[in-house]
Amino acid sequence: MNKKITISSIAAIVAITAVLAVSLPVDVLADYKEYSYPEISGSIAVGDSDYQGLEQITLSDAMRIAQGQVTDSNAMWGDLKVIQGYLVYKVGLISDDDKFYKVLVDAGNGDVLYVSDAKTKDSWANHSKDGKWKDHYADLTPEQRELKMKQWGEVKDAFFALDIDERAKLVMHFMSMKSQWDGLSDEQRDAKKAETKEFMNELLPLSVEEKTERLRQYINSI
């Protein structure tokens, strides 16, 4: 995998972030890491470090398994974690009726260890009245803001038009790029942000189909 952070790499990060931002209200995002899990028993007992490579199933396997637990849902992302001393994949799902779920999948045998209750989201109209979206587009007219929100919603649609293997590959790349991003200097971050803004200005006006194809082209390049 190419470890260099490129314009497309940052765009991939933005695309994943957009899926979360468009799909979930601020309170759900803030509470995402605060689930209280029941006692679980997995097949791979590990410590909190040096567990990479011990998994027996892939992220795409885990996302596919998790998605099968909630009717009419899509797997947004997943991450390999140690929970209660067992190696698991944490997978986030969003359902067609805009409810969010977290699923724990055993990284060894693929057993489903936990499915959270649904967390609901506010309507996009209510969500957009507060927080960063309003601030970010404060200089736009209401009609222009509505168009921007529609375009970001289409980024979400484009992401979910990808198959699970493609989504999983993009998520894994996103995690790698995020780690590198944290190590950049402020100047490097500013330069990448400017490149990203230019890229997204080109991406947003595209149709859902064109957005999907642009993401697919990038995934095939990594």
pTM tops 0.85, yes or no: no
CA 167 to chain centre: 9
Angle, helix 7-23 to helix 208-221, in steps of 10 degrees: 130
CA 101 to chain centre: 13
Among 101-105, 162-166, 215-219, the range scoring the smallest mean pLDDT is 215-219
Residue-wise pLDDT tens digits, 92-140: 999 988 888 999 999 999 999 999 999 886 533 344 444 555 566 778 8
Residue 203 and residue 10: Cα distance in Å, rounded?
A: 13
Residue-wise pLDDT tens digits, 50-69: 788 899 999 999 999 999 99
